[in-house]
Amino acid sequence: MLLFKKKFLPAIREGAKTQTIRLWKYARMRSGQRSYIPGAGYIRVTAVEPVRLDDLTDDDARPDGFTSADALREELARLYPDQLDAGYQAFRVVFHLLPPEEQKKAK
């Protein structure tokens, strides 16, 4: 299960937010995996890759729902201060919301 702040759920449901950056000790998801986002539905993970936060560009930030890489990094610093201090790895998780007919099968 992937949890998101409520402010991101409309963009996920609309298909505008198709990735998330997570700070983990190791990759907790894998490509091809199905997962669930409360308030949005079932997703299919299409890629999981390590990224360096300093290397993220504005183009990287847009599928995450941010207008700039700086805005994305600021949000990550707010959400994950302990993980950043502990040196956790950042992972880009790319996903798409399953269509309604697959949502019903996934339950």
Domain 6-98 class in CATH? alpha beta
Parse the chain into domains and list their residue ranges. 6-98
Q: What pTM was computed for the model?
A: 0.91
Tell whether the model's pLDDT for residue 35 goes beyond 80. Answer: yes
What would the pLDDT profile of 53-71 be if each residue is shown by its tens digit?
Answer: 999 999 999 999 999 999 9
| Local structure of 93: helix, strand or coil | strand
Given this model, what pLDDT does residue 73 score? 97
Q: Do 72 and 17 meet the contact criterion of CB atoms below 8 Å apart?
A: no
Q: What is the mean pLDDT of residues 29-56?
A: 96
Q: What is the model's pLDDT at position 106?
A: 65
Residue range 12-29: mean pLDDT, rounded = 96
Residue among 83, 74, 107, 69 at smallest CA distance from 22:
83
Confidence of residue 10 (pLDDT cuts 50, 70, 90): very high
